[in-house]
């Protein structure tokens, strides 16, 4: 019988091949990149505006719903984009399988944790605690 699968039997047995997640990874990296263009430009302008600002004026700035919402959008997109990018770097340069997998998982946990810390800080200032 004709085998229509072009992958080798050895490759199939070893579980090599597509993880079926490549397109999603690629697309999310582009989607977050497009979102980060205006968000980063806005953030740089905000940092320039806030440079040298004291606590009161910086906190007052962050209590604006627009500023808080844009900051939260920036945080989510930024950490998502960074995690996707660093993951590819790790996958390219780490050749020991278990070290690579551990590093990619640790990276994702770190990105989520740092993103949560940043988001909670914005919310705390915004909600005026």
Q: Which residues contact 7 (CB under 8 A, 6 or more apart)?
A: 16, 17
Nearest of 47, 112, 52, 106 to residue 79 by alpha carbon: 112
Tell whether residue 99 is a contact of other proteins (CB under 8 A).
no
Q: Which of 28, 86, 94, 104 binds other proteins (CB under 8 A)?
A: 86
Q: Pick the closer one to other proteins by CB: 2 or 54.
A: 54
What single DSSP character describes residue 20? Answer: S
Binding to other proteins by residue 59, rule CB under 8 A? Answer: yes
What lies within 8 Å, CB to CB, of 68 at 6+ separation is 62, 122, 123, 125, 126
Contact 91, 108 (CB under 8 A): no
Binder to other proteins among 8, 58, 109, 112 (CB under 8 A)? 58
Q: Which of 11, 24, 40, 106 binds other proteins (CB under 8 A)?
A: 40
Binding site for other proteins (CB under 8 A): 30, 33-34, 36-37, 40-41, 44, 47-48, 51, 54-56, 58-59, 62, 71, 75, 78-79, 82, 85-86, 89, 114, 117-118, 120-122, 124-125, 129
């Amino acid at each position: 019988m004709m085998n229509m699968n072009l992958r080798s039997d050895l490759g199939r047995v070893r579980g090599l091949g597509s993880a079926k997640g490549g397109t999603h990874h690629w697309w999310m990296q582009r989607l977050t990149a497009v979102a980060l263009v205006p968000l980063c430009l806005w953030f740089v302008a905000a940092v320039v505006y806030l440079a040298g600002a004291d606590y009161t004026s910086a906190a007052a700035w962050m209590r604006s719903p627009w500023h808080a919402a844009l900051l939260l959008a920036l945080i989510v997109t930024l950490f998502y984009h960074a995690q996707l990018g660093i993951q590819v770097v790790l996958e390219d340069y780490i050749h020991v399988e278990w070290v690579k997998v551990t590093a990619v998982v640790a990276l994702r946990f770190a990105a989520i944790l740092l993103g949560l810390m940043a988001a909670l800080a914005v919310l705390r200032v915004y909600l005026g605690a």
